[in-house]
Structure 1
Amino acid sequence: MINGSKRIAQPIRWAMVGGGRNSQIGYIHRSAALRDQSFALVAGAFDIDPGRGREFGVQLGVDPQRCYPDYRTLFEQEARRPDGIQAVSVATPNGTHFAITRAALEAGLHVVCEKPLCFTLEEAETLREIALANNRVVGVTYGYAGHQLIEQARAMIADGELGEIRMVHMQFAHGFHSAPVEGQNEATKWRVDPRLAGPSYVLGDVGTHPLYLSEVMLPEFRIKRLMCSRQSFVKSRAPLEDNAYTLMEYEGGAMGLVWSSAVNAGSMHGQKIRVIGSRASLEWWDEHPNQLAFEIQGQPVQVLERGMGYLHPGALLDDRIGAGHPEGLFEAWSNLYYRFAMAMDATERGDGALLAGLRYPDIHAGVEGVRWVERCVQSADRGGVWVDY
């Protein structure tokens, strides 16, 4: 079910804060946002160095007069234009997310923010209050949730194909930081600095990704309490962890486990989620995102393939190319970005019915990610005790 038509009548006038020339995540944001003609990049504050940011923006085709030295100037100047921006993406280090997102919301802009949304639950709740009061959309880039088979898993679980859900095993455990690479890598250096990264490293950086996948697949599940143990195997990273185990008890008695790690030596990515029911299990691995394993007790394993007609209609909605052709990260992010655009457009038009049926990682998902990290840190720092969620 390939849909090549435009999803909104006019593209959202859009800017970026951060995401400059050497930013991998900035390139992903732009590739995803521009793919479906849902956004038009018209302005930005792309770099902490104003001259470098201006040069880069011009290379992207942005008017040099709309390449600003900082986010405050960007918001102030664009507010004075009749064709000013409607939305902004925040692709900067974690420590800046709260201030930039708050300023954008107070300027009447929709926001797409990198995760984590901010450092503390108090800050997250503040952003939620401002967003709701100003009727603005906040999207959080849990990009893996845009893969089609996540929607398939959600539908199968809702239809009872797994039986009663007993366990959810999650991991995002790569090995690229098993040595102190931050000495030579600026992109890693800030991630292990509490001033810039916040109260955690891998819990917030990678652990929240499979956690959000579980929230998509199991929307009715609520965490009752959790306990966490975190380690700094590269000692110079302390007090921030490069490995953590989190055990969770859900309301109703199901159990969850999250392994968050950057020191799983030899692992490329290692992000997996396995949902285990009383009669069957599902497993998805982001290194093979076009396949979903369905394992019924006592029967051969089934591998469901992206794009096939036997899938749930919701899983086919995001097809961009026929079955058999592999789709990956850019397609997944694009699926989120067109949803962000549709939510922003529907909000502007007051289309509550469309908004009610549109799933995307929103301000509430951002708040829950911050809550989870905060509770994990509390548990670990008290010696790995159970804490109420």
Structure 2
Amino acid sequence: MAVLNWGMIGGGEGSQIGPAHRLGARVDGLFDFVAGALDHRPEAGRDYGRRLGLAADRSYGDWREMLEGERARADRVDLVTVATPNATHFEITRAFLKEGFHVLCEKPMTMTVEEGEEIVALARETGRICAVNYGYTGYSLVRHMRAMVARGDLGRVRMVVAEFAHGHHADAADADNPRVRWRYDPAQAGISAQFADCGIHALHMASFVIGQQVERLAADTVSCLPSRVLEDDAQVNLRFDGGAAGRLWTSSIAIGRQHGLTLQVFGEKGGLRWAQEQPNQLYWMPLGERLQVIERGEAGLSPEADRSSRVTIGHAEGMPLAFANIYKDLAEVIAARKAGRTPDPAADLFPRAEDGLRSMAAVHAVAASGKAQGVWLDARPPMFR
């Protein structure tokens, strides 16, 4: 496979997410990092890009300059990653899709359902890929869970329980910390804080694994710190289109929890449990049998799990490698399109614009249900009803 050209917007020096993307995109040698607009401060972005090895004429001051500089190049980027503040995702993603670029956008893809529907329509109209970085679905054993559900190992799925709870925003003394404050400010975060930040990861993973989309939900949201306008804890009841029920808890005030992303799936014939902080083990309990521990990298796993596992069994697998699997999927699909061939079916797992749209519809439904004391609401975007 020929190496593809990759560019990044945002993710500058000191960014939490930028290094994970740069590691993930390049670990398999499938992308070259050739262009970037890495900081909202033009000179800082140009300088950092050059220090990362970008050519001076492709280390841009802002995304508009990057779009202008890349659109006419014969060696223009094949994929653009958008890792900027949430409120800018829609404008940047739309602009690059219109110019025929493939895009990987950080979540949330947009701030409104209407914007999400526009991005879905635009991606379909242009034929360009618009992926959304629900990167935790890149973990090998998450993909194996999906394969087990799809082949019927659990029988009909009855219940899915998802959590993404941490305690890193529990200190009231952090109320004025700019790295925390913006997340609970409606002007910057939109209508939701914790659910839009972490809850949608858990929701997307649930849908990804069980192969069902949420139809209705009822939410209990609370701001445990009185100074916060937006929620820092949410408990959401879910009903999926394939008949499964769901429970989702997300929190930023759960002292003692670190990352806290876990998923449990209960079916007619067995149950599964996985935690992101121990990603090498998947716990499988067949009905009436002993608990089994499935190890990442062991023999006999699904093609989806094998393709997304790089290091030998017993060694740690981390978040950048999960991100790398999203990039590996995208590289395979983009390369297949260029070559006019069918991509590897095990690579067709990256989250799409449709997933980003469903997440935004769920965010708005959770916010509305929380304000209405937990009333059940339709969680589907209008274009999918």
Q: TM-score, normalised by structure 2?
A: 0.94
Deviation by residue 1:265-305 (Cα, 9 ceiling, x = unmatched): 11111111100112321000011001001123443321110
Q: Is the 8 A contact 1:95 1:195 kept in 2?
A: no
Aligned pairs, how many?
379
Q: Is structure 2 residue 28 aligned with structure 1 residue 39?
A: no
CA–CA distance in structure 1, aligned partners of residues 73 and 189 of structure 2: 35
Q: Choose which of 1, 5, 26 in structure 2 pairs with 1:13.
A: 5
Cα distance in 1, alignment partners of residues 97 and 346 from structure 2 = 21
- Secondary structure, counterpart of 1:304 in structure 2: strand
Cα deviation per residue 1:333-354 (whole Å; 9 max; x = unaligned)? 1111111122222334444555
Q: Give, in whole Å, the separation in 2 of the partners of 1:47 and 1:353.
A: 34
Q: Is this contact kept in 1: 2:6–2:35, CA < 8 A?
A: yes
| Equivalence for 1:65 | 57
After TM superposition, give the deviation of residue 83 of structure 1 in Å. 2.1
Q: Verify the 8 A CA contact 2:86 2:108 in the aligned structure 1.
A: yes
CA drift of 1:104 comes to 1.0
- Determine if the alignment matches structure 1 residue 278 to structure 2 residue 268: yes
How big is the shift at 1:76?
0.8
Alignment CA distance shift 1:342-1:182 (3 Å): farther
CA contact (8 A) 1:29 1:333 kept: yes
Task: Give the aligned residue type for 1:24.
Answer: Q
Number of the residue aligned with 2:105: 113
The structure 2 residue matched to 1:385, chosen from 351, 358, 375, is 375
SS at match of 2:17: helix
Letter in 2 for 1:237: R
Distance 1:68 1:299 in 2: 59
Indicate whether 1:146 and 2:128 are aligned: no
Task: Decide which moves more: 348-357 or 64-73.
Answer: 348-357
User: Comparing 245-254 with 288-297, which one deviates more in the overlay?
Assistant: 245-254
Cα 1:313/1:87, change in 2 over 3 Å: closer
Aligned-residue offset at 1:184: 5.9
Cα distance in structure 1, aligned partners of 2:103 and 2:173: 32
Q: Give the counterpart of 2:241 among 237, 244, 251.
A: 251
Whether the 8 Å CA contact 1:291–1:304 is kept in 2: the answer is yes
Q: Could you tell me the percent identity over the aligned residues?
A: 40
CA 1:164–1:51 in structure 2 vs 1: closer, same or farther (change >3 Å)? same
Letter in 2 for 1:126: E
Distance 1:368 1:218, change over 3 A: same
Q: Aligned partners of 1:189 and 1:74: how far apart in 2?
A: 30
Q: Is the 8 A contact 2:333 2:347 kept in 1?
A: no
Q: Is the 8 A contact 2:307 2:346 kept in 1?
A: no
The worse-fitting range, judged by mean Cα deviation, of 84-93 and 153-162 is 153-162
Counterpart check, 1:346 vs 2:336:
yes
Aligned equivalents of 1:186, 1:23: Cα separation in 2: 14
User: How far does residue 243 in structure 1 lie from its aligned partner after superposition?
Assistant: 0.4
The answer as to whether partners of 1:89 and 1:111 remain within 8 angstroms in 2 is: yes
CA RMSD in angstroms comes to 1.8
What is the alpha-carbon distance in structure 2 between the residues aligned to residue 181 and residue 41 of structure 1?
Answer: 40
1:159 & 1:71 partners in 2: Cα distance? 44
Distance in 2 separating the partners of 1:243 and 1:24: 22
Change (3 A) 1:290 1:195: same
Judged with a 3 Å threshold, the aligned counterparts in structure 2 of structure 1 residues 356 and 350 are, in CA distance, closer, same or farther, namely farther
Aligned to 2:251: 261
Residue 224 of structure 2 is aligned to residue 233 of structure 1: yes
Moved more, 92-101 or 369-378: 369-378
Out of 356, 359, 368, which is 1:369 matched to?
359
Moved more, 329-338 or 176-185: 176-185
Whether the 8 Å contact between 1:136 and 1:344 is mirrored in structure 2 is no
Give the drift of 1:326. 1.6
Whole-Å separation in 2 of the counterparts to 1:179 and 1:55? 35
Letter in 2 for 1:231: V
1:138 shift after superposition:
1.2
Q: Map Cα deviations across residues 196-239 of structure 1 (whole Å, 9 max, x no partner).
A: 212111111111112111122111x232311111111112221x
Asked whether the equivalents of residues 106 and 133 of structure 2 are also in contact (C-alpha less than 8 Å), the reply is yes
Q: Paired residue for 2:382? A: none
The 1-side partners of 2:260 and 2:107 are apart by 19
The question of 1:209 aligning with 2:201 is answered yes
Cα distance in structure 2, aligned partners of 1:142 and 1:79: 27
Alignment equivalent of 1:200, drawn from 167, 174, 192: 192
What is the deviation of 1:144?
0.9
CA contact (8 A) 2:146 2:209 kept: yes
Alignment partner, residue 325 of structure 1: 315
Q: Provide the C-alpha distance between the structure 2 equivalents of 1:113 and 1:222, rounded to a whole number of angstroms.
A: 21
**How far apart are the structure 1 equivalents of 2:246 and 2:5?**
41
Counterpart amino acid of residue 332 in structure 2:
M
**Counterpart amino acid of 1:160?**
G
1:356 shift after superposition: 9.5
Distance 1:253 1:90 in 2: 35
User: In the alignment, is the contact (CA less than 8 A) between 1:347 and 1:355 conserved in 2?
Assistant: no
Confirm or deny that 1:95 pairs with 2:57: no
Aligned partners of 1:140 and 1:363 also within 8 Å: yes
CA contact (8 A) 2:219 2:366 kept: yes
